[in-house]
Structure 1
Amino acid sequence: MEERVRACVNCHGQNGKGTNNVYFPRLAGKPAGYLYNQLLAFRDGRRKYAPMNYLLAYLPDDYLKKMAQYYADAREPFESFGPPTASEKILKQGQSLVVNGAPNRGIPACTTCHGPDLSGREPGIPGLVGLRPDYITAQIGAWRYGTRTSVEPDCMHLVAARMTEEDVAAAAAWLAAMPIPANTTPLKQSSVRLPLECGSQKP
């Protein structure tokens, strides 16, 4: 498998631990289902990034599942990004959005879906720890404007579309600055009630 993923190392680091490039995320330890769905999205053109689209164009589903499981099983230490550059006011705003959401605007807390420690949830919700603010900002922006999509219900598009640019910057700043939890293993699938936007419960 190390030979199969050799092309991934330059951007995502050895064993998916990440690199200094702010726009390429860490892959190690994320749920296999999430990683597999993203590989499918790149292969099938639902996510647009030419190098990824090209590399995955002809790979079969079983091959992608094995790649996803390889990175899901990887356990690599998290990199420290150093002290946050955002102001205390922005960090507090971001923490409030991440932990409490903004119910008056239909924005659920990030912790609702991504877990109380933001380490993700099996089988398909990724952890948000250990990501750089520029990457988080870019991805939420892609969800907001529909350049990143998912199969229906596309809950991240619905939620991100309700966020202002100030919301996005604040949430990204706090997520990047939050302490790494002691246990970063994604939660097992549970009966947690996700927001209505995610189509997991009836009104």
Structure 2
Amino acid sequence: MRACTACHKSTGIRIDEGYVPRIEGKPAGYLFNQLVHFREHRRTNATMNHLVEWMSDDYMAAIADWFGDQQPPYPDPAAPPEREVLRERGEQLVRAGDPERDIPACQACHGERLAGVRPDIPGLIGLPEHYIAGQLGAWRVGHRQASEPDCMATIVERLDERDVEAVAAWLASRPLPADTRPATGPARDLPMRCGSVERPGS
């Protein structure tokens, strides 16, 4: 796995084109799905698309399992947003969602601690603001896609630019929970169908 960790450092790494996220400790099912999405060009990154082009499912599953088992410390969170309205809107969307616009809370899927839920839902802790905003933007323009039904694409369609800014800033400033490992679950029904967490026959 040393070839992967050259870019995917334990603290993530900022590059001219954006940010390479930490993948250690994320649920193995989620990591496997992302490798499949890169292989099938549902996600667009020239390096990743090339690296996984000829990888078998078994090989990618082994990679995902190895990284999912690693638990190095997370970097410190960012400072909270200075604007009160941004802090309040971000907290609302993450904790409660926006029922009037049919936007579920981030915690409804990503877990109460926002550390993710095994086997398929990633954590949102330890990520910088610009990366979170960039991924939501990638869903908005179709550069990032997931298995159908693509629940994140549906949610992002209901967010405006201010919502994206608020969620990204508030999540990036969250103190790390005492237990940063993904929960096991899902402990409750998800608020909508999501192809990346569904199993055949489910």
TM-score normalised to the size of structure 2?
0.89
Q: Is the Cα–Cα contact under 8 Å of residues 43 and 143 in structure 2 kept in the other structure?
A: yes
Verify: 1:176 aligned to 2:172, yes or no.
yes
CA-CA distance at 1:7 after TM superposition = 2.4
What pairs up with 1:53-202 in 2 under 5 angstroms? 53-84=49-80, 86-198=82-194
Please list the CA deviations of residues 44-92 of structure 1 after superposition, one character each: whole Å capped at 9, or x if unmatched. 2111100001111111111111111111111111112442454233122
For this pair of structures, how many residues does the alignment match? 194
For 1:36 and 1:82, how far apart are their aligned partners in 2?
A: 28
Residue 44 of structure 2: which of 45, 48, 53 is its match? 48
Q: 1:19 aligns to what?
A: 13
For 1:108 and 1:130, how far apart are their aligned partners in 2?
A: 21
3-state SS of 1:63 partner: helix
From the superposition, tell whether residues 85 and 194 of structure 1 become closer, same or farther in structure 2 (CA, over 3 Å): closer
For 2:66 and 2:156, how far apart are their aligned partners in 1?
A: 30
Q: Percent sequence identity over matched residues?
A: 46
For 1:190 and 1:113, how far apart are their aligned partners in 2?
A: 8
Task: Return 5+ residue gaps in structure 1 as ranges.
Answer: none
For 2:11 and 2:71, how far apart are their aligned partners in 1?
A: 8
Larger helix percent: 1
From the superposition, tell whether residues 46 and 193 of structure 1 become closer, same or farther in structure 2 (CA, over 3 Å): same
From the superposition, tell whether residues 30 and 123 of structure 1 become closer, same or farther in structure 2 (CA, over 3 Å): same
From the superposition, tell whether residues 197 and 165 of structure 1 become closer, same or farther in structure 2 (CA, over 3 Å): farther
3-state SS of 1:23 partner: strand
TM-score normalised to the size of structure 1?
0.89
Please list the CA deviations of residues 13-61 of structure 1 after superposition, one character each: whole Å capped at 9, or x if unmatched. 1xx4422445211111110000000011111211110000111111111
For 2:65 and 2:40, how far apart are their aligned partners in 1?
A: 19
Q: Is the Cα–Cα contact under 8 Å of residues 17 and 27 in structure 1 kept in the other structure?
A: no
Task: Return 5+ residue gaps in structure 2 as ranges.
Answer: none
| Aligned alpha-carbon RMSD (Å) | 1.7
From the superposition, tell whether residues 28 and 59 of structure 1 become closer, same or farther in structure 2 (CA, over 3 Å): same
